[in-house]
Amino acid sequence: MKLLFTKANWEVSHLSVEDFVGRVAEAGYDATEIYMPARSESPAAILAAHEAAGLKIVAHIASDGRTPDEHLKSLEERYLRAIETGPLFVNSHSGRDHFSFDDSLRIFEAGQALVARHGVPLCHETHRGRALFSAPATRAFLSALPDLRLTADFSHWVCVHESDLSDQADTLAAALAAASHIHARVGFDEGPQVSDPRNPAHARWLELFTGWWRRVLDLRRSEGREWFTMTPEFGPAPYMPLAGRSPDPVGEAWEINEWMLGYLRRELVTTERG
C-alpha cells in the first residue's frame, strides 16, 4: 500500500493555487488538500495547476448554514463543485455539534447518496463543532451507518474528552476501522495542537498518535488498499499558540508540517516497505 502525503493550504491560504501547488511540489508532497469554499479559482483551473505539477487533489469542503436543511443544501452544492477538480475523494466538516442525531443522520445519508450518484468518495472529519465532535457521537453514527467513512483527526477528541481515549478503547477501535484519511496533527488533553511535536515534553502524545496512525494503516493494508492519504496539518496562529505577549506564534506551521512529513516517512513508510 502506497502512502500519499498531502499538503493543506491552511497556513498559506493567501497564495494563488498556482503558487501553492508549486511550493507543495517543491516540498516533495504527493497531493494537496485544498479548502474549496475559500478558493476563487475555478475547479478547472485548480485541476489544470495540479496536472501541470503532477500532484493529486483531496478536495476539502464544509457544510454551512443556520439549519440542518441549509447544511444539506450546502453539502450537495460544495460536493458537486469539489468533484469537478477530479479529486481522490472529498473531505468534509459536516453538520454541527448541536444538531439532533436525526438531523445529523440526514446529512450523512445525503452524503452517501451523493457518493452513490457520482462515485467520488466522501469522508467526514472528526472535528470539534461538527457532528463528529466526540467519540460517543461518532460511535452512534457508525452504528447507524456502518459504511460512513471518516477523516481521522483525533487531536480534536483528546481535547474534547481531556483524555488519551484509553477509557474509550472500543469506540476508538470503531473509528480506526472507519478511517479512510488521516490528518496528522498531534493534540493533547488540553488542546487540539501541541506547540511543537519535536518538544520532548510532547513525546508521549506524539507516540500515542503515531500508534493510532499505524493501526489505521494496518487495517487498510489488510483490506488490500492500493494507497492511503495523510495530511500533516499543524495550523498557524491562532491555532498555533502565541509566545507570551508577542503577536508572533511559538512556531512556524509550514516548517513544523515539513518536519512532520519527514517524521511520517521515517516512521511509517519505512515500516510499510519493511
Report domain extents, the chain. 2-273
| Neighbour-count burial of 80, counting CB atoms closer than 10 A to its CB (0-12 exposed, 13-18 middle, 19+ buried) | middle
Averaged pLDDT, 22-41: 97
The answer, yes or no, to whether residue 246 has pLDDT greater than 90, is: no
pLDDT tens for 118-158 read 999 999 999 999 999 999 999 999 999 999 999 999 999 99
Averaged pLDDT, 148-169: 98
The answer, yes or no, to whether residue 227 has pLDDT greater than 50, is: yes
What is d(CA 18, CA 198) in angstroms, rounded to the nearest whole number? 31
The answer, yes or no, to whether residue 44 has pLDDT greater than 50, is: yes
- pLDDT at position 272 is 53
Where does the pLDDT of residue 202 fall: very low under 50, low under 70, confident under 90, or very high at 90 and above? very high
The answer, yes or no, to whether residue 274 has pLDDT greater than 60, is: no
The answer, yes or no, to whether residue 270 has pLDDT greater than 70, is: no
The matching CATH number, chosen from 1.10.260.40, 3.40.50.920, 3.20.20.150, 3.40.50.150, for 2-273 is 3.20.20.150
Region of poorest pLDDT, from 29-33, 75-79, 203-207, 268-272: 268-272
Where does the pLDDT of residue 170 fall: very low under 50, low under 70, confident under 90, or very high at 90 and above? very high
Averaged pLDDT, 17-28: 97
